[in-house]
Structure 1
Amino acid sequence: MPPARRVPPRGAPARRPPVRRDPDPVEDDWFDDYTDAEVNGVETITGPRATPGSVPARGDRRTSAGGTSTRGRSADRGRSAERGRSAERGRSVERAGSSVRGASSARSGTSGASRQPARSTARGTAGATRTRPVRATPVRGAARSRSGPGGRRPPARRGLDGSATRAPLPFVLASPRRRIRASVVLMVAVLVVIAGRLAQLQGFGSSAYAEAAHQQVLRKSVLPADRGMITDRHGYPLARDIEQRAVYADPFVMSEVDVLTAARKLAPVIGRSENELRKLMAANGEARFVYLGRGFQRSVGDEVTKLDLPGIGVLDERGRSYPAETLGSNFVGFTSRGDNDVLEGRAGLEQAYDDVLHGTNGRRQIEADPSGREIPSAQSMEKEPVDGSTVRLTIERDIQWEAQRAIAEAVRNSEADGGTIVVMQPKTGDLLALADAPQYDPNNITERDQDAIGNRSTGQAFEPGSVNKVITMAAALDRGLIDATTPITVPSSIERGGVRIADSEPHGTEHLTAAGVLARSSNIGTVEIAERVGSANLEEMMRAFGLGEKTELDFPGETAGILPAASDWSGSQAATIAYGQGMSATAIQMASVYATVANGGLRVAPRLVDAIIGPDGVAQETAREPERRVISTETAATLTRMLEEVATDQGTAPAAEVTGYRVAGKTGTAKRYDAASGGYKGYVSSFIGFAPADDPQVVVEVVLDNPQKGAYYGGEVAAPVFSKVMSFALTTLGVPPPGTKPESLVLSLDR
């Protein structure tokens, strides 16, 4: 049986349990427990006496003033209190805590069993109620006292105004009601957001989102209009549109496996490397359209279609083709793709007549599945394209071909920098050929072709030299100052404006006729005749022939040349301009001068475009400029007879003769201005003439820029080329040889 408990005699003081000392009473967690017992409005601690620095014995229980146990409630509150708050609360213990503890101690001595001290060990007071240990806690609502050795209390926390303050308690979501309330608020907020989004999608923005969804399945494509052709005078195409195929990818709908498969299968078909195709599709992974190749023939497109690769498609498109390759490329020009993938002219007639040649593209709209394939049952919209108009030229294909062959050969043989040939009909102004060297193929333009792009006959001006003497003679003849037999004394040299002037071949004093001055191309004799005309009259005549202004061709890059006003001519310039130095002109301008003489003194503007043929096949001829008389018929006839003597053994260009035909023309050998050095370097060699002289049908001009191999005189390097081209042109046009022979003119009075 258990041993009897030892009960202290009545009246004996209760044995106080041993006191535990805490090294840091402020941080002890027993400081954080509260009870609901209140005495005089403040919370108190019941049980054994709680003195500063003491700790209740184990087994003691907290009770309210009426003795009711508060064990469960105080325990819950003790567990929920934060240990971190104990130190802060310990510093703010109310000053009245000591009085409350005193009152509590007094009550513990007079009360019954509920006032008995709890046992702190196994050995305790008999009859004492066994309770859970309690800790001395500060009174709620008042400043706590800090227990410690010696019972010293810490000073109370005070505010700026000196009044005692209580440290703010952090918000702790310990209450179930608070948790439920917060959860409800959060759920309501989420539901409101969802409801608002649904209202936006299905209500306010439903139509916009529906349209956006519809646009994702739409595929829009351009139905290209055929660009009009450029043809020669007989309808032979020099430039035309052709049917082509383009291969494209939609990387957005393609997986990595699709990309690899497409690259492997397409590489041998479209002629691009597998690695190149793979990189092209991978680099545009978010794109919906990437060209993999363009300009393929129809058969290539059909082969790609048969592969049936996801995300890979074939488009019909129009490309530009130049079936004659280099033929006429200098004036036809070329195209490239511009805005909206439309072909646009970049040079020559392609550029000048771009608004006429290009049509109006059509449109096609389809619905496609995620793989990019058209949905057959879906609605589609299509607008038919309107083709462009055809530009028909005055060019004769065969003569153009011969002219290009001849000038290319001459440039190659003479090692010239370049050359040009103009073939023209004097009565109509129609240009039959405009040939340049070097040449290029507009089907395949490379970097080395940059110098060949452009039209020399309209875009490059040069000092014409002796071919300009025909204007000086025309001015004197038309004013009656000379005739073909007028004697002209030609010394070995003359000086004008401090500049010594001589002929190309040294000689002593000669006595020539006006016809002899022109036939032998005497600079000195020409200056003497020009001085009879006067600078102002000479300038007027030159402008009447069309020098100093652009031709009516209005060709891209055309230049007007340079013709200063007579009032600005220096003493030497007034002399040199008479024989074609000190001013500049283009090949087309000089060809027009000789065409005017060949046409009996009537100037007809050069024509390159003959008619515009609409998509309906109706041709509209281009307007012709009105003829303008420059010199009289008599002057033109006399001048023609004088020019015939040039292409004889007595003149400077016997090599210009055309078997069976009478030829009238003039050589030119001019000093060449070099822009790089700022001075004269090399020569420009030329010959311009027409035939038959008694009924002119064709004018041919040959110009060689800076020939460096062999002779450089126009009569030696340009005249032979003229003879070949003129002979071919007359034969091609079916011009019969004349049945007349010219009368001989007296050229020199020394015999």
Structure 2
Amino acid sequence: MTTLAPPPRRPSSRPAPRPAARPAPRTFRQGDHVRRLRLWQLGLLILVTIVAGRVVDLQVIQGPTLAAAAEKSRMREVVIPATRGDITDANGVPLATTVAARNVTVDQTLVEDVEGTAAALASVLGGDASAYAPRLAGERRFVYIAKNVTPETWASVKALKLAGVFSEPTSTRVYPAGEVAANVVGHVRADGTGGSGLEHGLDDQLAGVAGSEIFESSARGTEIPTVEAAGTSAIPGKTVRLTIDRDIQWVAQDAIAKQVAYAKADSGTVVVMDPRTGKILALATVPTFDPNRPAEAVSADIGNRAVSDVFEPGSTSKVMTMAAVIEEKAAGPTTQLVIPPVLKRPAKTWHDHSPHGTLKLTLNGVLAKSSNIGTIMAAERIGGDTLYRYLKKFGIGEKTGLNFPGESKGYVPAPSQWSDTTFGTLAFGQGLSVNAVQAASVFATIANDGVRVTPSLVEGYTLPDGTYQAAPQASETRVVSTKTARTVRSMLESVVSADGTAPNAAIPGYRVAGKTGTANRIDDSCGCYRGYTASFIGIAPADNPSLVVAVFLQNPRNGHYGGVLAGPVFKRVTSFALQQERTPPTGSQRPRIPVEW
């Protein structure tokens, strides 16, 4: 097989392609360098402009705000409580005072080592480190670690330089005399405000005005010691000087506490008053409490029973009936009365506290023997409206003027509210109610020649600048004439004699006038009479009175007669107070007014 050869190719008419031309090498030209430099300058200018703008923004526009925020983050402000004013007795002896203290606090966000900080705090503050650790961990900016530590203790904590641990100034209220006058002075709550007594009633005067302290802290949360602190100074409260004499108060509390225990009574109260000025020298009540530990007290023992508790006065109220009868000239001390065994009236038959036959007593004898029948017979000579008017003049049913927190004003019904038996019961001291200070004030009126002086507990105030400001002078009200008051005082001396019901209250060397009381006591649980109020209120010296001492025992179970239970307390307290006040015996003899005829 023959293979045919391909025909020969014709030469192409297209020209052959040229090789690619190589670019000619560029040569350096001066214009390129200038252009590049300008681009760099432009970029740098833009960058500088941005930076400068940011600087201007930070320094000029936002600068003050940011600076203030930075400073605020470093600055801390704490309130400086004002130093609470002292409460002193009449001689300037502190009954309540304030000592400086610190509260240890923590900013949890700044604590670097919880366990280490807890151990360090425990080494100074005491206790176990595990008790502190929970208060150190977390995100809270303010937590109390310890309260009311001494400045020396805080100085030891501060020396540890613990991150996040700070303090705030505070104070602690201290009662140097403990239970003495506790129910008068009162106590302060944990927040520093008055909780009871005069601490509460005079809180505005005692509290002062708080200040502030501003200091700078480091990034670690510790105070920078080289930076000067700023703030406002606190203004201390006023110091209150009371009329209370601490020593007389102590004797009164001790005497009534022992007698309450002996008599197995619910409570007891003693009031010691200067009848010429109305100043209360002692206001004792038991049971009481320790104001240094108010949380441990029984709530009923924190109040002041001398003004808050009211009771029917019983025979001590006969002083007002006798004063009204004599002032109205319806009878005199030697007026002769025939006292039957019982007094029959349409609404009721009246009895005396002890059975007796027919007695021939003078009006003085009626008071000395504390005859209910004789007192009703004397009161019938002036009538109910007149008796009521004198009861009101003596201050019954009105507040004493002490302005003491929780005071009860007592009660006496108006004639329009009387039943058929009200007149008789009011005449001898039942059917009306008084507090202990009101009852003492009645006898102070007789002691002060018939002028009632508003009782007072505050002598004056010492201002923060040291200026002393006396309390306003007590108001005075004429109740009966001088002659009537002196006559009644002389009759009351017969009570404290062998002829009367309170020979146990006599004080050798002094003339004493007084009156016993053994009143039926209202029991609030049943609204009925149950138990007694045993009392004695006396005046000394009777011929130149400087003291009125009132003693009350509520619901005694070991006896109930006022002369037996309250008389000895009066004797002890009055004997001491006369010595404390440097009151000498007058040396005169009591008048011998007939008791019987």
TM-score w.r.t. the length of structure 2 is 0.88
1:746 aligns with 2:571: no
Among 636, 650, 654, the alignment partner of 2:499 is: 650
2:576 maps to amino acid: F
The answer for the alignment partner of 2:132 in structure 1 is 277
Task: Indicate yes or no: 2:540 matched with 1:685.
Answer: no
Instruction: Return the alpha-carbon distance in structure 1 between the equivalents of residues 178 and 296 of structure 2.
Output: 17
Bigger Rg, structure 1 or 2: 1
The alignment status of 1:577 with 2:426, answered yes or no, reads: yes
Q: Is 1:243 equivalent to 2:100 in the alignment?
A: yes
**Equivalent residue, structure 1, for 2:314:** 465
**CA 1:502–1:305: 2 relative to 1, 3 Å:** same
1:216: Cα distance to partner?
Answer: 1.9
Is 379-388 or 546-555 further displaced after alignment?
379-388
Structure 2 match to 1:332: 185
Aligned to 2:6: none
User: Which residue matches 2:169?
Assistant: 316
Q: CA deviation at 1:496?
A: 4.5
State how far apart, in whole Å, the 1-side matches of 2:124 and 2:173 are.
Answer: 22
Deviations 1:239-269 (A, max 9, x none): 11111232222211113xx221222232353
State the shift of 1:712 in Å.
0.8
Residue identity opposite 1:629 in structure 2: R
Rounded to whole Å, the distance in 2 between the matches of 1:271 and 1:567 is 69
SS in structure 1 of the partner of residue 300 of structure 2: coil
Distance 1:304 1:374, change over 3 A: closer
The offset of 1:383, in angstroms, is: 1.4
Counterpart of 1:410, as a letter, is: Q
Q: CA deviation at 1:214?
A: 3.0
SS of residue matched to 1:585: coil
Moved more, 444-453 or 656-665: 444-453
Alignment of 1:341-740 (within 5 A): 343-378=192-227, 380-496=229-345, 498-708=347-557, 710-740=558-588
Residue by residue over 1:646-698, the C-alpha shift from the partner in whole angstroms, topping out at 9 and shown as x without a partner, is 01111001100111111000000111101111111110111001101110111
1:336 is paired with a residue whose SS is coil
Q: 1:249 to 1:532 in 2, by over 3 A?
A: same
Superposition TM-score, scaled by structure 1 size: 0.70
| Amino acid in the other structure paired with 1:298 | P
User: In the aligned structure 2, how far is the partner of 1:347 from the partner of 1:599?
Assistant: 32
Structure 1 residue 457: deviation in Å? 1.0
**CA distance in structure 2 between the aligned counterparts of 1:613 and 1:650, rounded to whole angstroms:** 50
Greater alpha carbon shift after TM alignment, 272-281 vs 346-355: 272-281
Q: Which amino acid aligns with 1:434?
A: L
Gaps of 5+ in 1: 1-196
1:385-440 deviation digits (Å, cap 9, x = unpaired): 21111111111111011011111111111111111100000111111000010111
Query: Once the 2 structures are TM-superposed, how far is the Cα of residue 381 of structure 1 from its aligned partner?
Result: 1.9
SS in 1 for 2:535: strand
For 2:393 and 2:123, the matched residues in 1 are separated by 64
Deviation at 1:584, TM superposition (A): 0.2
Cα distance, 1:441 vs. partner?
A: 0.8
CA distance in 2, matches of 1:500, 1:370: 90
Conserved in 2, the CA contact under 8 Å of 1:420 and 1:434? yes
Instruction: Quickly say closer, same or farther: Cα 1:502–1:209, change in 2 above 3 A.
Output: farther
SS at match of 1:589: helix
Equivalent in the alignment of 1:105: none
Pick closer, same or farther for the CA change 1:205–1:306 going to 2, 3 Å. closer
Q: Which amino acid aligns with 1:218?
A: M
- Find the aligned partners of 1:579 and 1:268 in 2 and give their Cα distance: 69
Contact kept? 1:497, 1:570, Cα under 8 Å: no
**Amino acid of the structure 1 residue aligned with 2:276:** K
Q: Secondary structure of 1:436's match?
A: strand
State the shift of 1:604 in Å: 0.9
* Equivalent in the alignment of 2:78: 221
Does the 8 Å contact 1:496/1:571 carry over to 2?
A: no
Q: C-alpha offsets along residues 569-590 of structure 1, whole Å, 9 cap, x if unaligned?
A: 1111111011111110011001
Where relative contact order (Cα < 8 A, 6+ residues apart) is larger, the structure is: 2
Contact 1:263 1:278 in 2 (8 A): yes
**Structure 1 pair 746–276 and aligned structure 2 pair: CA distance change class (3 A):** same
Matched residues in 1 for 2:56 and 2:351: separation?
99
Q: Give RMSD over aligned pairs.
A: 2.0
C-alpha displacement of 1:446: 2.8
SS of 2:576's partner is helix
d(CA) in 2 for partners of 1:271, 1:359: 33
Residues of 2 paired with 1:607 and 1:544: CA distance? 19
- Cα contact 1:563–1:584 (8 A) shared by 2: yes
Letter in 2 for 1:639: V
CA distance in 1, matches of 2:55, 2:127: 50
* Per-residue Cα deviation, 1:341-361 (whole angstroms, up to 9, x for no partner): xx2112111111111111112
Q: Taking structure 1 as reference, are residues 375 and 265 closer, same or farther at Cα in structure 2, changes over 3 Å only?
A: closer
CA distance in 1, matches of 2:454, 2:357: 43
Q: In structure 2, what residue type is equivalent to 1:486?
A: T
Give the aligned residue type for 1:715: G
CA contact (8 A) 2:330 2:381 kept: yes
For residue 200 of structure 1, report the CA deviation from its aligned partner.
10
Size of the alignment, in residue pairs?
Answer: 544
